[in-house]
């Protein structure tokens, strides 16, 4: 069943309503691992979006060609190819970023978000629509990564994108850079998102306005 949403909503939905991390809890591994600094989050988000776009282009083009039984193996090989291209590209032209992201770039291959989107969407819709959907999802993913990165960086090392903003009075919360901080921050963010999206709450807002 190919989706019937208008092209605009196809794109917008990825950003908030069906945000990959917040709404459908996909792609958590890199979200937690890399966001100890905002620039890492941004770099990982961009790399993931590149892979998402290129692989959904390829897969939606080949969707009738790949038999159902080998679709997972076939999709994942395509995704892995583009990830390797991205990894080598970063290593060749941006060595510093590649060093800081380190082992997490290859893990984009197994980012549940990408295979999830290909399986649920790109393998059933045309190229144009799949690209829009992937772009929306990618941007949604980048947003969450950068927000999480900023929060953890401010609390963890008192800086944003490496620029120290909090003076010496602020002793950084070491936990924010460590794994537990990542879990806690994401948990609170999801709770905030639930609060914001709660239908009954929107009635109050409407009543109040």
Phi/psi class of residue 166: alpha, beta or left (left: φ > 0; alpha: ψ in -120 to 50)?
A: beta
Number of residues that bind other proteins (CB under 8 A): 76
Name the minimum Å distance from CB 179 to other proteins: 4
Q: Are 61 and 127 in contact (CB under 8 A)?
A: yes
Dihedral sign, CA of 61, 65, 69, 73? Answer: negative
127 binds other proteins (CB under 8 A): no
Q: Which of 83, 97, 131, 155 binds other proteins (CB under 8 A)?
A: 83
Burial zone of 96 (CB within 10 Å; 0-12 exposed, 13-18 middle, 19+ buried)? exposed
- If one asks whether residue 100 binds other proteins (CB under 8 A), the answer comes out as no
**Does 199 engage in binding with other proteins (CB under 8 A)?**
yes
The dihedral through the CA atoms of 9, 12, 18, 20 has a sign that is: positive
Residue ranges in 13-32 that form contacts with other proteins under rule CB under 8 A: 24-30, 32
Binding to other proteins (CB under 8 A) within 129-148 occurs at none
Choose the stretch contacting other proteins; rule: CB under 8 A; options: 9-17, 68-76, 126-134, 140-148. 68-76
In 3D, which of 100, 96, 83 has the Cα closest to residue 153?
100
Nearer to other proteins, 95 or 128 (CB): 95
Binding residues among 44-63 for other proteins as defined by CB under 8 A: none
Going by C-alpha positions, the residue among 2, 90, 95 that lies closest to residue 51 is 90
Contacts of 162 (CB under 8 A, 6+ apart): 37, 39
Among 16, 127, 147, 172, binds other proteins (CB under 8 A): 172
Q: Which stretch binds other proteins (CB under 8 A): 39-47, 67-75, 127-135, 137-145?
A: 67-75
Closest distance between other proteins and the C-beta of residue 150, in Å?
Answer: 17
């Amino acid at each position: 069943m190919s989706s019937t949403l208008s092209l605009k909503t196809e794109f917008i939905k990825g950003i908030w309503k069906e945000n990959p991390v917040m709404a459908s809890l996909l792609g958590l591994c890199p979200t937690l691992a890399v966001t100890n600094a905002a620039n890492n989050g941004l770099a990982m988000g961009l790399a993931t979006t590149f892979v998402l776009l290129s692989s959904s282009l390829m897969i939606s083009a080949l969707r009738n060609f790949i038999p159902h039984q080998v679709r997972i193996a076939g999709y994942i090989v395509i995704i892995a190819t583009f990830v390797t291209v991205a990894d080598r590209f970063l290593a060749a032209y941006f060595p510093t970023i590649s060093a800081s992201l380190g082992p997490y770039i290859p893990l984009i291959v197994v980012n549940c978000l990408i295979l999830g989107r290909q399986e649920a969407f790109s393998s059933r819709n045309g190229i144009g629509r799949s690209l829009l959907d992937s772009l929306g999802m990618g941007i949604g993913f980048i947003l969450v990564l950068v927000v999480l990165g900023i929060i953890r960086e401010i609390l963890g090392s008192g800086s944003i994108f490496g620029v120290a903003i909090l003076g010496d009075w602020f002793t950084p919360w070491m936990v924010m850079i460590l794994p537990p901080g990542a879990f806690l921050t994401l948990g609170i963010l999801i709770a905030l998102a639930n609060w914001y999206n709660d239908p009954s709450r929107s009635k109050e807002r409407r009543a109040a306005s």
